């Protein structure tokens, strides 16, 4: 036995040296991100269809990141077109492609998460698309109903595009029925079918189902030589994602492809036609397939399968394809499309809190009781005479008014809970209240950051103060017009905005710890907040017109920028939503229209704007601060207009308590078999492992035979599997990265 072990070690070392000598380092694959979005559209009617187009980049789509929510959008379809329907780049109506091919590349509905294709598979677009001629991408968006309030939508899809051609090309094969649904039927089956005509072998690897409210199940099979094989089935009331197919399968020329939708029309009094309106129904099964890149393209003009064979062909359709799946309430809740129109409604605006007339509203926060804490300037106004050329405050007398006002907000009423701060502040700017009800403030007039405790009589006691009062400066002991403050974990972060363009990290007792200046440098970091879900920092980089999403050390997660704004005064977050507001109207033309100031809402981690909203009673004038209440259903905006400073209150209207995408509740991981592609680097590990198993088994067999211990033997082979990943989180907004 000793000789066998020695031989085994020797051979493994030999294999190691041999494989190492022939291993070739693989060049990382270059991935770029391209986003196609709506142009700030607000639906004008029920079942409003609109589309936008862009020239297709050259490459291969390997992943999709939807930027939408079922509260606002019924569904989205991405088409690859030879030409778009209109040259304008935006149009209303259901049209998508002009002349030439029309290829479905992706479909989204009911809060489906991100989709990443298997390694070695991609959709060819642009100059890479060959005879398919996909020169343009067209995004069609269906809105079920108009929004409430003044809301603009920027929903879209980010494409992950690889430069190198994969060994397999992808396509979406749509199986669709056009037959109407009779009324009073608790279980009506609507069938669709065709015969696959091409000699190119298809490998289905994912599927998606789509119906409207009456759909209960959608399934699809293919039949060869009298044998049915299920492609997949799914409840269309669940998130309408592309679910991976866990077993390898092939569709050959002449195979019969069939699908069936089960509908419950018990509550209907008349037939329901198939159609695009919400009052209609749909019966769609989207099958994502791949084929070898070296094979002939089976779908040069689009991949569609409809009622192409006699009805009796379904006489032996498997019963499994009509039986309902077990209930999944958590999925149905996640996918629920609101019956209440989404909107952001102007609920009230306040010039007074109780008897207190508001001055310029510089800062807002919430105390542990969810009361709104207002930091205003009373009668003092910041104008061109407030500071001298060295950033020293001219009026060195503190404000003789209570500039911190605490209010209980109920509907259109703002009642006074407490007021304080008289004689303590020179020019209020930022405020934060922690879970212990400690108050943190920044004073641009005195160039200080302070921590306060509120006493029983509502007076303030100073715990500590950082910076030299009324003396601007830099370094570890001075600030110069600090703008914002937030407590995060064991640190305090201060945006030291107007002169030093930095973020300073302090210890909880106010000692200097570190600082950073952001990617490319800040230009007036004007506000800073943290996100309790992602634990990241968000900095409003005012004059650069962007928001930095950062880790504690200042490293970048994403950067929010847009042609919609070129200055950002304030930022706040709730869940995965990032609320940003410009303070001045300096935007350039966008889509031929001048855009007023609005609150823009992005998706954390994406760097992209998802929707925006503005008041209906009149425009913002000089918004300075935005804060979202702890429950996430109200947004407050503080305005510093000299003639009429106000606090705006908005209500986010949607059905249910959770407006966020909440992709983390969904995980769809399984396995997928792909054709073998040689890969020396990965082959090395497998080869060593395989030889190790062979020798161990061989040694065991030799030993057993030597001792005459005869037992039955079994062997197995294992196919390599690779996952189709349905990601739960949006990635960073960088448009280029290296990936394996």
**Binding-site residue positions for Cu(2+):** 74-75, 142, 210, 212, 282
Q: Rounded distance, CA 369 to CA 205, Å?
A: 51
* Distance in angstroms (rounded) separating the CA atoms of residues 94 and 79: 12
Characterize 93-122 residue by residue with b for buried, 16 or more Cβ atoms within 10 angstroms of its Cβ, and e for exposed: eeebbbebbbbbbbbbbbbbbbbbbbbbbb
Which residues contact residue 607 at a Cβ distance below 8 angstroms, ignoring those fewer than 6 apart? 549, 558, 559, 560, 561, 732, 733
Cα–Cα dist 400/135, whole Å: 66
656 Rama sector, left if φ>0, alpha if ψ -120 to 50, beta otherwise:
left
As a whole number of angstroms, the distance between CA 482 and CA 739 comes to: 40
Structure tokens at 738: 């290296």
- Residue 671 has a CB neighbour count (10 Å cut-off) of 16
User: Given CA atoms 405, 408, 410, 415 in this order, what sign does their dihedral have?
Assistant: negative
Which residues pair with residue 497 across a beta bridge? Answer: none
Beta bridge partners of 348: 649
Q: Between 2-22 and 680-706, two packed helices, what is the crossing angle to 10 degrees?
A: 170
Helix (H/G/I), strand (E/B), else coil: 560: strand
For Cα atoms 543, 546, 547, give the angle at the middle one, nearest 5 degrees.
Answer: 120
Q: In this structure, what token pair is assigned to residue 482?
A: 């600090």
How many other C-beta atoms lie within 10 A of the C-beta of residue 404? 26
H helices of 212-348, in order, are 329-335
Please name the residue that has the structure tokens 């005012």. 542
Entry field: residues in the chain: 740
Which strand (E) or helix (H) includes residue 704?
A: helix 680-706
DSSP 367: -
Tokens of 100: 């030439």
Contacts for 511 with CB less than 8 Å, ≥ 6 apart: none
**Nearest by Cα to 376 from 350, 347, 397:** 350
283-317 as b/e: b if 16+ CB within 10 A: bbbbbbbbbebeeebbbeebbbbebeeeeeebeeb
426 vs 611: CA distance, rounded Å: 37
Torsion angle, alpha carbons of 576, 600, 106, 331, to 10:
40
The β-bridge partners of 1 are none
> Cα separation of 622 and 538, whole Å?
21
CA distance 95 to 438: 57
Binding site members = 74-75, 142, 210, 212, 282
Distance CA 62, CA 65 (A): 11
């Amino acid at each position: 036995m000793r000789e066998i072990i020695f031989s085994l070690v020797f051979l493994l070392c030999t294999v190691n040296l041999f494989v190492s000598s022939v291993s070739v380092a693989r060049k990382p694959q270059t991935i770029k991100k391209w986003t196609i979005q709506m142009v700030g559209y607000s639906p004008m009617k029920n079942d409003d269809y609109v589309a936008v187009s862009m020239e297709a980049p050259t490459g291969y789509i390997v992943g999709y990141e939807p930027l939408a929510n079922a509260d606002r959008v019924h569904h989205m379809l991405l088409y690859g077109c030879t030409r778009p329907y209109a040259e304008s780049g935006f149009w209303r109506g259901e049209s998508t492609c002009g002349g030439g091919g029309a290829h479905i590349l992706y479909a989204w509905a009911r809060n489906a998460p991100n989709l990443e294709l298997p390694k070695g598979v991609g959709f060819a677009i642009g100059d890479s698309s060959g005879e398919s001629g996909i020169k343009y991408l067209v995004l069609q968006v269906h809105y079920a109903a108009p929004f409430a309030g003044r809301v603009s939508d920027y929903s879209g899809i980010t494409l992950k595009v690889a430069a190198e051609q994969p060994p397999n090309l992808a396509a979406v094969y749509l199986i669709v029925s056009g037959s109407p649904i009779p009324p009073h039927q608790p279980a009506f089956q609507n069938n669709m079918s065709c015969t696959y005509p091409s000699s190119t072998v298809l490998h289905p690897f994912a599927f998606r189902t789509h119906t409207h409210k009456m759909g209960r199940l959608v399934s699809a099979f293919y039949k060869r030589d009298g044998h049915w094989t299920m492609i997949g089935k799914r409840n269309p009331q669940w998130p309408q994602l592309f679910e991976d197919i866990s077993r390898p399968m092939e569709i050959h020329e002449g195979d019969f492809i069939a699908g069936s939708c089960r509908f419950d029309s018990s509550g209907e009094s008349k037939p329901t036609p198939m159609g695009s309106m919400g009052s209609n129904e749909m019966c769609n099964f989207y099958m994502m397939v791949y084929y070898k890149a070296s094979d002939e393209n089976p779908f040069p003009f689009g991949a569609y399968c409809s009622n192409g064979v006699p009805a009796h062909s379904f006489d032996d359709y498997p019963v499994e394809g009509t039986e309902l799946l077990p209930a999944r309430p958590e999925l149905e809740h996640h996918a629920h499309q609101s019956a209440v129109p989404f909107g952001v409604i102007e609920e009230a605006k306040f010039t007074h809190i109780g008897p207190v007339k508001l001055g310029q509203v510089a800062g807002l926060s919430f105390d542990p009781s969810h009361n709104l804490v207002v930091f205003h300037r009373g009668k003092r106004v910041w104008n061109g005479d407030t500071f001298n050329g060295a950033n020293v405050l001219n009026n060195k007398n503190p404000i003789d008014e209570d500039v911190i006002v605490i209010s209980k907000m109920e509907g259109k009423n703002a009642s006074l809970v407490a007021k304080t701060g008289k004689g303590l502040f020179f020019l209020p700017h930022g405020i934060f209240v922690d879970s212990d009800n400690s108050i943190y403030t920044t004073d641009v007039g005195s160039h200080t950051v302070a921590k306060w405790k509120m006493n029983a009589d509502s007076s303030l006691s100073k715990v500590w103060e950082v910076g030299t009062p009324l003396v601007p400066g830099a370094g570890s002991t001075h600030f110069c017009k600090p703008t914002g403050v937030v407590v995060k974990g064991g640190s305090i972060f201060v945006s030291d905005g107007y002169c030093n363009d930095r973020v300073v990290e302090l210890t909880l007792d106010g000692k200097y710890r570190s600082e950073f200046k952001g990617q490319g440098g800040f230009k007036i970091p004007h506000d800073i907040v943290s996100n309790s879900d992602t634990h990241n920092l968000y900095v409003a980089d005012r004059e650069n017109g962007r928001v930095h999403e950062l880790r504690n050390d200042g490293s970048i997660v994403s950067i929010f920028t847009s042609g919609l704004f070129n200055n950002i005064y304030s930022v706040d977050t709730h869940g995965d939503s990032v609320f940003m507001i410009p303070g001045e109207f300096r935007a350039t033309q966008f889509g031929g229209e001048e855009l007023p100031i609005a609150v823009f809402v992005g998706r954390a981690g994406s760097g992209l704007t998802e929707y925006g909203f503005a008041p209906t009673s009149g425009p913002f004038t000089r918004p300075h601060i935005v804060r979202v209440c702890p429950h996430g259903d109200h947004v407050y905006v503080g305005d510093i207009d000299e003639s009429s400073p106000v606090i705006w209150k908005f209500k986010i209207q949607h059905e249910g308590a959770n407006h966020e995408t909440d992709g983390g509740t969904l995980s769809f991981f399984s396995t997928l078999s792909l054709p073998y592609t040689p890969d020396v680097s990965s082959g090395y590990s497998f080869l060593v492992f395989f030889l190790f198993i062979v020798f161990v088994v061989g040694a065991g067999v030799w030993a057993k035979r030597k001792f005459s211990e005869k037992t039955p033997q079994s062997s197995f082979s294992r196919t390599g599997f690779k996952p189709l990943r349905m990601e739960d989180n949006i990635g960073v907004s960088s448009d280029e990265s290296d990936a394996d």
